[in-house]
């Protein structure tokens, strides 16, 4: 099977009338990479994918596949295969006919198609089910048929539009690993779209986080999570306690902000904000619930907070403790369940502390709405 080729979006803008769905997207995807677009509903993920697969021409900018400008090439002329949000299996064709549709339109004979279908059915662990209709398959099986159908076309780039969103949690987790395995086996470029951050982080080599038509950050999952580029990314990916304030002092990699309600707090300056953050600027500090610890030393410090326990949720491997800081500031803390004493006593006064390297400071900006 052909090795994956790269996909580049250069200054791509896509407009529907006056509405700008995608704004100056610059994305470079390497060949053979598992790349995800992550973003809330309606942020333009599908639109980007349709521009790559050729159903849409960008209003501005270029879509390059394998270094070749794709302008003027229709979807049937591009080396891409798209797995649709709703799968779009052909309901009147049997499973094996679905899988080999791309061969049928090339005029490949029936026997050869049947043979290829059987190979692919074996790969997706559906041997012997080729004569069923799609309506006779389970959700996960349909999913795999859609993947086989796309792979049968031997694309250089496989595009997947939230293919797992319709599945239940167990199956979704199972399909994640399966997809990742298939990708490793065939070695072609996967461009994967999702609004589920868990999916994006577990499967991808690189993730692009989108907000209302703008690509905010492109990075590997680790950096996205630990070193967000914008307040939007910080609040959209995973959970964060947000502290608003003004920059009070900068000391190398770290800065202190004067928060509105919780006093002075210290944290690491995010990579994207280094050099551009000045004293007095409005800023935000993001503190992950799991970065909070209960302090044994209760003296005041720039990495300590006092708070009262409101209530507690038990999730098995962790406790979520909801606290109320100074002036009603809500704080969430997650503690790993290692059999310690629980903090559920109401109004219990606690002192929290965190490692300043595990919290980030960013210039103030738009947050992801809950």
Ligand X SMILES: Nc1ncnc2c1ncn2[C@@H]1O[C@H](COP(=O)(O)OP(=O)(O)OP(=O)(O)O)[C@@H](O)[C@H]1O
- Alpha-carbon distance of 140 to 224, in angstroms, equals 29
Helix, strand and coil in the chain, % to nearest 5 = 25, 35, 40
Give the residue from 90, 214, 108, 191 showing the smallest Cα distance to 149: 90
Task: Show contacts with another protein in window 123-142 (CB under 8 A).
Answer: 131-133, 135-136
Q: Does 86 bind another protein (CB under 8 A)?
A: yes
Q: Does 105 bind another protein (CB under 8 A)?
A: yes
How many residues are there in the chain? 370
- Alpha-carbon distance of 293 to 335, in angstroms, equals 8
User: Which residue lies nearer to ligand X by CB, 19 or 336?
Assistant: 19
Among 25, 37, 46, 245, the residue binding Mg ion under the rule CB under 5 A is 46
| Range in contact with another protein (rule: CB under 8 A) among 14-22, 53-61, 218-226, 338-346 | 53-61
- Alpha-carbon distance of 138 to 106, in angstroms, equals 29
Strands ordered across the beta sheet of 349-353 = 293-294, 349-353, 304-314, 318-324, 330-336
| Range in contact with another protein (rule: CB under 8 A) among 19-27, 85-93, 190-198, 251-259 | 85-93
CA 304 to chain centre: 32
Q: Site for ligand X (CB under 6 A): how many residues?
A: 12
Among 5, 14, 70, 81, the residue binding another protein under the rule CB under 8 A is 81
Q: Does 153 bind another protein (CB under 8 A)?
A: yes
Task: Show contacts with ligand X in window 189-228 (CB under 6 A).
Answer: 195
Q: Nearest-5° angle of CA 328, CA 332, CA 334? A: 155
User: Which residue lies nearer to another protein by CB, 91 or 252?
Assistant: 91
From the list another protein, Mg ion, ligand X, none, partner contacted by residue 225 (C-beta under 5 to 8 A by kind): none
User: Six-digit token pair at 112?
Assistant: 């050869």
CB of 161 to Mg ion, least distance (A): 6
- Alpha-carbon distance of 193 to 239, in angstroms, equals 21
A 10 A CB-CB count for 369 gives 8
A 10 A CB-CB count for 170 gives 9
CB of 38 to ligand X, least distance (A): 10
One symbol per residue from 12 to 51: x for binding another protein (CB under 8 A), - otherwise; what is it?
Answer: ----------------------------------------
Q: Tell me which long-range contacts 129-132 makes (C-beta under 8 A, separation of at least 24).
A: 129/95, 130/94, 130/95, 130/96, 130/99, 131/94, 131/95, 131/96, 132/94, 132/95
Give the residue from 345, 300, 344, 361 showing the smallest Cα distance to 326: 300
Q: Does 57 bind another protein (CB under 8 A)?
A: no
Q: Site for another protein (CB under 8 A): how many residues?
A: 29
Which residue intervals of 218-354 are DSSP H helices? 221-226, 231-236
CB of 46 to Mg ion, least distance (A): 3
Q: Does 149 bind ligand X (CB under 6 A)?
A: no
- Alpha-carbon distance of 109 to 104, in angstroms, equals 7
Grouping H, G, I as helix, E, B as strand and the rest as coil, residue 135 is: helix
| Range in contact with ligand X (rule: CB under 6 A) among 38-46, 98-106, 142-150, 332-340 | 38-46
Q: Does 124 bind ligand X (CB under 6 A)?
A: no
From the list ligand X, Mg ion, another protein, none, partner contacted by residue 21 (C-beta under 5 to 8 A by kind): ligand X
Owner of token pair 């994006």 = 200
Among 106, 278, 298, 337, the residue binding another protein under the rule CB under 8 A is 106
| Range in contact with ligand X (rule: CB under 6 A) among 34-42, 238-246, 276-284, 311-319 | 34-42
Closest chain position to ligand X (CB): 46
Q: Could you say which DSSP state residue 127 is in?
A: T
| Range in contact with another protein (rule: CB under 8 A) among 89-97, 169-177, 178-186, 352-360 | 89-97
What residues contact 349, with CB distance under 8 A and at least 6 apart? 306, 307, 308
Q: Which residues contact another protein (rule: CB under 8 A)?
A: 53-55, 74-76, 80-82, 84, 86, 88, 90-92, 94, 101-102, 104-106, 131-133, 135-136, 149-150, 153
Q: Which residues contact ligand X (rule: CB under 6 A)?
A: 16, 19, 21, 39, 41-47, 195
């Amino acid at each position: 099977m052909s090795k994956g080729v790269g996909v580049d979006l250069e200054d791509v803008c896509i407009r529907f009338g006056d509405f700008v769905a995608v704004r100056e997207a610059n994305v470079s995807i390497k060949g053979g990479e598992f790349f995800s677009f992550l973003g809330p509903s309606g942020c333009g993920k599908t639109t980007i994918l349709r521009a790559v697969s050729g159903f849409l021409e960008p209003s501005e900018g270029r879509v390059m596949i394998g270094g070749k400008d794709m302008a003027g090439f229709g979807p049937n002329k591009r080396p891409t295969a798209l797995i649709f949000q709703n799968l779009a299996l052909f309901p009147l064709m049997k499973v094996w006919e679905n899988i080999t549709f791309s061969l049928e339109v090339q005029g490949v004979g029936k026997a050869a198609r049947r043979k290829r279908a059987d190979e692919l059915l074996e790969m997706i662990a559906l041997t012997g089910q080729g004569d069923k209709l799609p309506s006779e398959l389970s959700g996960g099986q349909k999913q795999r048929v859609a993947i086989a159908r796309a792979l049968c076309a031997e694309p250089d780039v496989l595009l997947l539009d939230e293919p797992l969103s319709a599945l239940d949690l167990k199956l979704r987790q199972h399909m994640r690993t399966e997809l990742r395995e298939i990708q490793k086996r065939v070695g072609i470029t996967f461009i994967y779209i999702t609004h589920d951050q868990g999916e994006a982080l577990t499967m991808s080599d690189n993730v692009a986080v989108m907000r209302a038509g703008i690509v905010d950050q492109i990075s590997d999952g680790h950096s996205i999570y630990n070193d967000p580029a914008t307040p939007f990314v910080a609040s959209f990916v995973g959970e964060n306690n947000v502290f608003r304030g003004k920059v009070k002092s900068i000391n190398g990699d770290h800065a202190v902000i004067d928060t509105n309600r919780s006093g002075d707090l210290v944290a690491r300056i995010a990579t994207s904000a280094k050099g551009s953050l000045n004293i007095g600027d409005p800023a935000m500090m993001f503190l992950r619930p799991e970065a909070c610890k209960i302090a044994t030393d209760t003296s005041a410090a720039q990495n300590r907070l006092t708070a009262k326990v409101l209530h507690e949720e038990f999730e098995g491997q962790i406790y979520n403790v909801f606290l109320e800081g100074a002036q009603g500031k809500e704080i969430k803390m997650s503690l790993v369940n290692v059999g310690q004493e629980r903090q559920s006593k109401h109004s219990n006064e606690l002192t929290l502390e965190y490692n300043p390297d595990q919290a980030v400071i960013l210039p103030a900006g738009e947050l992801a709405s809950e």
